Amino acid sequence: MSVIWIILSCLLSFGGLSLSNSLSVNASSRPKNVSVGAIFTLNSTIGKVAKIAIEQAVKDVNANSSVLPGTTLLVDIRDINCSGFLGLIEALRFMETDSVAVIGPQSSVVAHTILHVAKELQTPFLSFAATDPTLSSLQFPYFIRTTISDLYQMMAVTEIVYHYGWKEVTVIYLDDDYGRNGLAALDDALAARRCRVSYKAGISPGDISRNEVMDILVNVALKQSRVIVIHANRAAGLLVFDVAQQIGMLEDGYVWIATDWLASVLDTGFQHISIDNLQGVLVLRQHTSNSERRRSFLARWNKLTSGSLGLSTYALYAYDTVWLLAHALDSFFDQGGVISFSKNPNLQSSAGSLLNLDSMLKFDGGLLLKNNILQSDFVGLTGPVKFNSGNSLVFPAYEILNIIGTSLHRIGYWSNYSGLSTVVPESLYSRPQNRSSARQQLHGVIWPGEAVKTPRGWVFPSSGKQLRIGVPIRVGYREFVSQVPGTNTFKGFCIDVFTAAVDLLPYAVPYQFIPFGNGHENPNYNQLVKLITTGFFDGAVGDIAIVTNRTRIVDFTQPYAASGLVVVAPVKKSNTGGWAFLRPFSLQMWGVSAAFFIFIGIVVWILEHRTNDEFRGPPKQQLITILWFSLSTLFFAHRENTVSTLGRVVLLIWLFVVLIINSSYTASLTSILTVQQLHSPIKGIESLKEGKEPIGYQTGSFAEHYLSESIGIPSSRLKPLGSAEEYATALQLGPENGGVSAVVDERPYVELFLSSQCKFRIIGQEFTKSGWGFAFPRDSPLSIDLSTAILTLSENGELQRIHDKWLTQSSCSSDNTELESDRLHLNSFVGLYLLCGLACFIALLIYFCQIINKFRRAAASGYASDGPGSLRSGHLRTLLSIIDEKSDPSKRESKRRKLDSLSLSESSRGVYL
């Protein structure tokens, strides 16, 4: 509504300025002149260079016969003195003329005010300096940005922050549409990289005093972040640097990143600027290609200005904007477009009204001209002038500069295509896109205070506030952490690790330990961690396990102690007894082994029965032979020889299996008889899951949630225990007397418990993997630095020394007992049995194929009876007789003599010859 009232006021002021009801240039050919308006602040840093650039571009266009032939381009430049109100007035004035487009506005604030006019009257506005990202929205369809949006500039700032490993930044911004919307774009870009804006300091867009800037910077200095992004204008930005230099905020440890406003100031000249206030500052500047045409224009510029005014990138974009409009108009006329205006039916003056709304004319060819502008594709002073589907210039890129001495040193580039790079973006556009972190590179930087080492980017706030570090008050296992009675002092393994790590930091960490818990039972560690997210604690130190639900809300340091859940249960010494020789094998193993011994005896008997006299005889004798042969192979004492090839193969494989079984049995039995064994009915977490006995866990531990939610053990079976003494009592009582069958707890606690409790042992393997760490708020830089310190403690042996000081106890080390290992089960030998069984199957298959072959030959010779019934019985008798008959050894002997005779004759022939 405010915009409408401004429009009405302007129309009241300029009601006498009207055109005819319809102004048109109906041209079957190109018009002689075409008018374009231009509105910006002539006395500003950008306006000074833009005026010269636009005037030179108009001359060049009119002198070029290939663009707008026969038509003269006229540009009417008007000064709005950086005022949104004046900008609206001048825009309305252009709407009362035959201007087909407007170059400008320069300011994003002015653009937000006047672009409603452009939409209503369908006149394209081409801005070479309004960088507010929100101007590209669908709300302003006739706004065309001919420079790079701040959306990309804030992405470049984010890439720099991420490249140097900083997590938080402070932003000093101009509190208007330009500053606020740029800040919003930066906030979004940082969030995508898990970084954030930790503090926002707005500056009044009008006149601001030195004292006001002083107050802003004092508040900034009290904050944690030392990475400061300044997104302002010339007046406010230079005043900020002047005051920052005065109060020592341009010294070692600070990082200053200025957006492209500072580059435009420095490019136009260092006059009246205290360059000493800018040492070490990083500056972004729009990247333009270093072409021959650009260098030629630079030489021409120096002649025009006599070297008194530098050439900024905004001047180049202003120059290309004129050419962009000329090319679009040329295409507009080629397509038969005419310059004609008509009344807007929405703007009609009522009877007796002093508002001359009829003078506001709509450009009939506005849509066609806008489309031609967006479809333009040519090479200008800045490089390729072409728009993508989002109506932004293609290949947005920035140069990253470092102010050193009296010059700007380029440390690299950023482009939306390749990210950070030390080579010009144009050389990367032809290569495959690669945004990997390994390819993100920048040259060395001289930071504020002439520092060459990259600043850490943060400090503890200098407000005198100490970090509130929550520490659990433990009831049991006080060796890890415990409170000294009557004080807020803590001691223990975890406390010593934390203090040793803090001592390694290159800066002081003011902190105080705050006890957490009632002192009667172990506190809930999940609640301790949640208090960090609320701000009640600035961190937590103690035996805090790093588990999934906690890592979702806080950041942990590098683990300083390995951990994981284990099962501890009572064990008893196993008595060997008179039947100890049966213990090496499980019942299943004994049964399968016995079956295989008999099976092998039968297979060998089948394969040897026809050819071996030792496997023939009465049925009773053959049965005894089978049993004796199979059992005697256990001791390699079988006296029957195998003569068939298949029998020997089967026996060879079986003897190998027997060798392995004998060796394993002997080793296991030796261990049982010579080493004292411990026995427990519980075999691990799986046996606990399948049982129904109660299970103990430590009060406050994450073990309860893991056992109930992840393992699926009912909560009714879980019993909380608070100390090592309660562990021992509950385990000794057992489930029958109100105790527990086992305790599930983290390994460090269990190892400390077992160092003095010799009746219990860890059963099975560790079934979770985790560690203990110190907890801090998300994205806290302290967690990163302490992680590095913990790694240093681990490497130099200090961490082990602290561990030995608090946790090494060995009262049970002299008890040379071992927990009984599992028996040898069938699955350990299944491969051997399968191999042996397969050999038997193949041998039997070959044997029976031979038998069937003989049977067929016998049946073919007419050996069976004639009748059908007798035929079937005759075949069966023939088959059985073939299986049972003894193979004639004379045939083999005859064959052997023939071979010997043939060999003898061959040798005699050789002697004769």
Reported as a single tens digit per residue, the pLDDT across 224-262 is 899 999 999 999 999 999 999 999 999 999 999 999 999
How far is residue 22 CA from its own chain's centroid? 62
Which pLDDT band holds residue 284 (cuts at 50, 70, 90)? Answer: very high
Residue 155 to residue 186: CA distance in whole angstroms? 7
Residue 744 to residue 726: CA distance in whole angstroms? 13
Those residues whose C-beta lies under 8 Å from the C-beta of residue 26, and which sit 6 or more positions away, are 338, 340
Q: Is residue 497 within 8 Å of residue 790, measured between CB atoms? A: yes
Q: Is residue 74 pLDDT above 90, yes or no?
A: yes
Nearest to 584 by CA among 907, 792, 824: 824
How far is residue 781 CA from its own chain's centroid? 18
Residue 331 to residue 2: CA distance in whole angstroms? 38
Residues 610-623: tens digit of each pLDDT: 666 666 667 777 77
Instruction: Indicate the angle between helix axes 260-268 and 45-63, nearest 10 degrees.
Output: 70
Q: Is residue 11 pLDDT above 60, yes or no?
A: no
The DSSP secondary-structure symbol of 427 reads G
413: region left, alpha or beta (phi > 0 left; psi from -120 to 50 alpha): beta
Those residues whose C-beta lies under 8 Å from the C-beta of residue 69, and which sit 6 or more positions away, are 30
Residue 846 to residue 606: CA distance in whole angstroms? 12
pLDDT for the residue numbered 791: 94
Percent over 90 (pLDDT), the chain: 42
Is the preceding omega at residue 105 within 30 degrees of 0, hence cis? yes
Q: What share of the chain is helix, strand, coil (3-state, %, to 5)?
A: 45, 15, 35
Lowest average pLDDT, out of 90-94, 341-345, 358-362, 787-791, goes to 358-362
Lowest average pLDDT, out of 129-143, 582-596, 779-793, goes to 582-596
Which pLDDT band holds residue 602 (cuts at 50, 70, 90)? Answer: confident
DSSP per-residue codes, 97-154: TTEEEEE--SSHHHHHHHHHHHHHHT--EEESS---GGGGSTT-TTEEE-S--HHHHH
Residues 647-676: tens digit of each pLDDT: 777 777 877 888 877 787 777 777 666 655
pLDDT for the residue numbered 182: 95
Residues 290-329: tens digit of each pLDDT: 999 999 999 999 999 988 889 999 999 999 999 999 999 9
Residue 797 CB neighbours (<10 A): 9
Residue 150 to residue 688: CA distance in whole angstroms? 61
Q: Is residue 131 pLDDT above 90, yes or no?
A: yes
pLDDT for the residue numbered 839: 74
SS3 label, residue 362? strand
Query: Amino acid identity, residue 563?
Result: S
Q: Environment class of residue 397 by beta-carbon count within 10 Å: exposed (0-12), middle (13-18) or buried (19+)?
A: buried
pLDDT for the residue numbered 863: 47
pLDDT for the residue numbered 352: 46
The structure tokens listed for 709 are 């939610």
Q: Which of 10-14, 19-23, 173-177, 577-581 has the highest mean pLDDT?
A: 173-177
Residue 34 to residue 202: CA distance in whole angstroms? 43
Q: Is residue 824 within 8 Å of residue 585, measured between CB atoms? A: yes
Q: How far is CA 259 from CA 58, 145, 254, 449, 529, in A?
A: 30, 18, 17, 21, 39
Which pLDDT band holds residue 841 (cuts at 50, 70, 90)? Answer: confident
Instruction: Indicate the angle between helix axes 747-754 and 724-733, nearest 10 degrees.
Output: 70
Lowest average pLDDT, out of 55-59, 80-84, 179-183, 283-287, goes to 80-84
Longest CA pairwise span in the chain (Å): 151
Q: Is residue 523 pLDDT above 50, yes or no?
A: yes
pLDDT for the residue numbered 468: 93
Q: Is residue 698 within 8 Å of residue 718, measured between CB atoms? A: no
761: which strand partners?
Answer: 569
Q: Is residue 312 within 8 Å of residue 267, measured between CB atoms? A: yes
Q: Is residue 369 pLDDT above 50, yes or no?
A: yes
The structure tokens listed for 478 are 């006080």
Nearest to 239 by CA among 266, 203, 268, 267: 203
Percent over 70 (pLDDT), the chain: 81
pTM of the model: 0.69
User: What is the Rg, in whole angstroms, of the alpha carbon atoms belonging to the chain?
Assistant: 47
SS3 assignment for 86-104: HHHHHHHHHHCCCEEEEEC
Lowest average pLDDT, out of 47-51, 788-792, 863-867, goes to 863-867
Q: How far is CA 747 from CA 187, 526, 561, 771, in A?
A: 43, 19, 10, 10
In the predicted model, what is the mean pLDDT of the chain? 82
Lowest average pLDDT, out of 150-159, 571-580, 721-730, 851-860, goes to 571-580
Nearest to 490 by CA among 505, 507, 475, 512: 512
pLDDT for the residue numbered 722: 83
What is the rounded average pLDDT of the residues 700-704? 82
Residues 185-217: tens digit of each pLDDT: 999 999 999 899 999 999 998 888 999 999 999
Those residues whose C-beta lies under 8 Å from the C-beta of residue 828, and which sit 6 or more positions away, are 664
pLDDT for the residue numbered 1: 39
pLDDT for the residue numbered 757: 80
pLDDT for the residue numbered 329: 95
Q: Is residue 824 pLDDT above 50, yes or no?
A: yes
The structure tokens listed for 876 are 């069966």
Q: Is residue 7 pLDDT above 50, yes or no?
A: no
What is the rounded average pLDDT of the residues 102-122? 85
Parallel, antiparallel, or unpaired: how do β-strands 818-819 and 677-679 relate? parallel
Lowest average pLDDT, out of 158-167, 682-691, 736-745, goes to 682-691
Residue 262 to residue 243: CA distance in whole angstroms? 16
Q: Is residue 471 within 8 Å of residue 513, measured between CB atoms? A: yes
Which pLDDT band holds residue 271 (cuts at 50, 70, 90)? Answer: low
Those residues whose C-beta lies under 8 Å from the C-beta of residue 444, and which sit 6 or more positions away, are 411, 452
CA end-to-end distance (rounded Å), the chain: 131
What is the rounded average pLDDT of the residues 140-159? 95
Q: Is residue 823 pLDDT above 70, yes or no?
A: no
- Tell me the HSE value of 210 on the side-chain side, using a 13 A CA sphere: 7
Q: Is residue 681 within 8 Å of residue 735, measured between CB atoms? A: no
User: Which of 905 and 143 is assigned the larger pLDDT?
Assistant: 143
User: Which of 746 and 889 is assigned the larger pLDDT?
Assistant: 746
Q: Which spans in 130-272 are helix H? A: 150-163, 177-192, 210-221, 234-246, 260-268
What is the rounded average pLDDT of the residues 106-123? 84
Nearest to 540 by CA among 557, 561, 552: 557
What is the rounded average pLDDT of the residues 127-139? 89
